[in-house]
Amino acid sequence: MLLHLLNRSAASSHVYRDALRAMAEDDCLLLTEDGVYSALMPLAEHFSAVYGRLFALREDLASRGLEGRCAEQIVIVDMEGFVQLTEDADRVVSWF
Amino acid sequence: MRYALLVQGAPYSHQAAHSALRFAEALIARSHRLETVFFYHDGVYNAQRLATPPQDEPQLVDAWCRLHHEHGTALLVCVAAALRRGVVDERESRRHGKQGHSLESPFELTGVGQLVEAAMTHDRLITFSP
């Protein structure tokens, strides 16, 4: 299983399409930095194929005033959760 | 687990360096070892010894050095990316006939081969890029 990191908003970059295309069935995707803007509807709909294995980093949400506004399909993790995701994955791929 | 981080963003201009540092602290808190941080592209600016940010802002250079002193983390800086950007240690400065230097221990100039080696010898390599 791979963990994919995405730090770009779907509103400003199309790199998320490459990330989704590259993801295998059991891969996970963590939204970080400006990537967390995609945790809100309607942008989150672009990620419907990976609901259930889609995560967003709490501190990046908080620093953008977005906490509590996430789509319910998204799992919010803190920094410790981020580390845990990298433990569980065989490798980590960053998209930027 | 043994971790390596690749930092490609300059401090104070993108979030990458700050994110990497936050992640570094979190992985150490979970009893992993952060053995290597490799600074590449604009990430080499993290090694500027003369960086003097305002005192009430995050002190990124100091924080990297602290990782080295407290946890033995190697702070590797790509020599090709660094020289281009005027990030030079004393030896390279002398070799190129420059005055002064902007990089010193615990940061060390290395080749990009060290990054390949880090990818092969560590359990995890995580990239933080702008």
Nearest CB neighbour to A82, from listed B23, B125, B127: B23
Average pLDDT rounded to a whole number, residues B41-53 = 97
Q: Which amino acid is at B62?
A: D
Residue B27 has a pLDDT of 98
Chain A CB contacts of B34 below 8 Å: none
Instruction: Please give the mean pLDDT across all residues of chain B.
Output: 97
Residue B53 has a pLDDT of 95
| Nearby residues of B10 by Cβ (< 8 Å), 6 or more positions away | B17, B42, B43, B45, B46, B130
Confidence of residue B84 (pLDDT cuts 50, 70, 90): very high
Q: Map B59-95 to HEC letters.
A: CHHHHHHHHHHHHCCEEEEEHHHHHHCCCCCHHHHHH
Chain A CB contacts of B43 below 8 Å: none
Nearest residue of B to residue A60 by CA position? B19
Quote the ipTM score: 0.96
Q: Which amino acid is at A56?
A: A
Residue B10 has a pLDDT of 97
For residue B5, give how far its alpha carbon lies from the nearest alpha carbon of chain A (Å): 11
User: What are B26-44's pLDDT values in tens digits?
Assistant: 999 999 999 999 999 999 9
* End-to-end alpha carbon distance in chain A: 20
Q: Best of A4, A7, A59 to disrupt the B interface by mutation (most B CBs within 10 Å)?
A: A7
Q: Does B119 touch chain A (CB under 8 A)?
A: no
% of chain B beyond a pLDDT of 70: 100
Q: Exactly one of B10, B78, B103, B115 is catalytic; which is it?
A: B78
**What is the distance between the alpha carbons of residues A41 and A28, in angstroms, rounded to a whole number?**
19
Dihedral angle sign, alpha carbons of residues B75, B80, B83, B88: positive
Residue B63 has a pLDDT of 97
Confidence of residue B81 (pLDDT cuts 50, 70, 90): very high
Q: Name residues 71-110 of chain B within 8 A of A (Cβ).
A: none
**For the domain that residue B63 is a member of, what is the CATH number?**
3.40.1260.10
Point out the residues of chain A with pLDDT beneath 70: none
Chain A CB contacts of B1 below 8 Å: 87
Does domain A2-95 correspond to CATH entry 3.40.1260.10? yes
By the 10 Å C-beta count (0-12 exposed, 13-18 middle, 19+ buried), A55 is classed as buried
Q: How many domains does chain B have?
A: 1
Chain A CB contacts of B3 below 8 Å: 86
Q: Which of B105, B127, B106, B103 minimizes the C-alpha distance to B115?
A: B127
DSSP, collapsed to helix, strand or coil, labels residue B74 as: strand
Residue B65 has a pLDDT of 98
Q: Is B65 a catalytic residue?
A: no
